[in-house]
Amino acid sequence: MRRLPPLNALRVFEVAARTNGYAGAAAELGLTHGAVSRQIGILEGWLGQRLFVRSGRRMVATPIARVFAAEVSLSFDRLTSAAEACGKPGARRILRVSAPTSFAIRWLIPRLEWFHQAHPIVEVSVTTVSTVHEELRGGFDVAVRRGSAKADSWPQHRATDILDDVETLIMSPALYARRPIRSPADVADHVLLSSETRPGDWIDWLGRAGLSHLAGQRRQIFDHFHVTLQAVIDGLGIGIGPFPLLDADLGAGRLLTPLPDIKVPRTGYVALVPFDADKTAPLKGFVDWLVAEGRPESAP
């Protein structure tokens, strides 16, 4: 028989190494600090090797432990793939996705039917967060956030670029018919609609348009962007909108972009998968689908 290390202790160890300490592992696994410590101690006893050392008030992984943890994580991935291949065919799978509210409403949800057509046994459950910067917590298989996919940007997650983002001026066709904007100077005749969750949008766009002197112009501020967007569609004023998130609204005639050449590039969106997540075929397929949908040629 193979002399395997204690598997539960390996699981706890992999999370502790990935989250840089016992506290992170305890929070992610729903265990007490003492329970994590006991499991690490069991594994250290089996290996005859210290895996964590104290640094101030924290326990941190040793260099050899970090190398070992990477191998354990890869082994868990292979075990998951093997179980997936041998699993019950046709069983319905639930994929939990966390995304910013505006991203979910304007871009993700309208496209989900296309994913379901290609993956009929996968049910995508979407939960939303109020801002793209909200802290990442457990309870999801993949999260969408604004950011970079560079390795050091998300130390506990595997990041994949999925969508670029630029912002430009938006308004309703009805408002444009009454008070058209044909040049940047025409903005002075309108109410600026903005969001608490996107505080710098107008400042950046006005700077690009050479209208920094209008930064103090009359505004109406809403708490979230999707509320601001509805106010723009209703013709209460003009706003700054992200694209390609609003491509469908533009195509349906709910919005227009009066000065489309004045754009503010923004940090795009990434898909984040926890390193300890089950790397199932549905999860990989969903991330691949997000990447494909995010390509410019895929826009509806």
Residue written as token pair 């004045």 = 262
Q: List 266's β-bridge partners, or say none.
A: 165
Inter-residue contact 129 to 99 (CB < 8 Å): yes
Band (276; pLDDT cuts 50, 70, 90):
low
Would you list the domain boundaries of the chain? 7-86, 93-164+267-298, 166-266
Check whether domain 166-266 has CATH 3.40.190.10, yes or no: yes
Using one digit for the tens of pLDDT, what is the confidence trace for 224-270? Answer: 898 999 999 999 999 999 999 999 999 999 999 999 999 999 999 99
Of 285, 286, 270, give the one whose Cα is nearest residue 100: 270
Structure token pair of residue 92:
């319905």
**Domain 93-164+267-298, CATH:** 3.40.190.10
Alpha-carbon separation of residue 160 from 40, 122, 150, 195 (angstroms): 31, 21, 9, 28
Average pLDDT, the chain: 88
Buried b (16+ CB within 10 A) or exposed e, 57-74: eebbbeeebeebbeebbe
Please tell me the predicted confidence (pLDDT) of residue 227: 92
Is 166-266 in the same CATH topology as 93-164+267-298? yes
Band (47; pLDDT cuts 50, 70, 90):
very high
Please tell me the predicted confidence (pLDDT) of residue 130: 74
Total residue count of the chain as it appears in this document: 300
Buried b (16+ CB within 10 A) or exposed e, 207-242: ebbebeebeeeeeeebebbbebbebbbebbbbbbbb
Interatomic CA distance for residues 172 and 237, integer angstroms: 8
At the second CATH level, the architecture of 7-86 is Orthogonal Bundle (1.10)
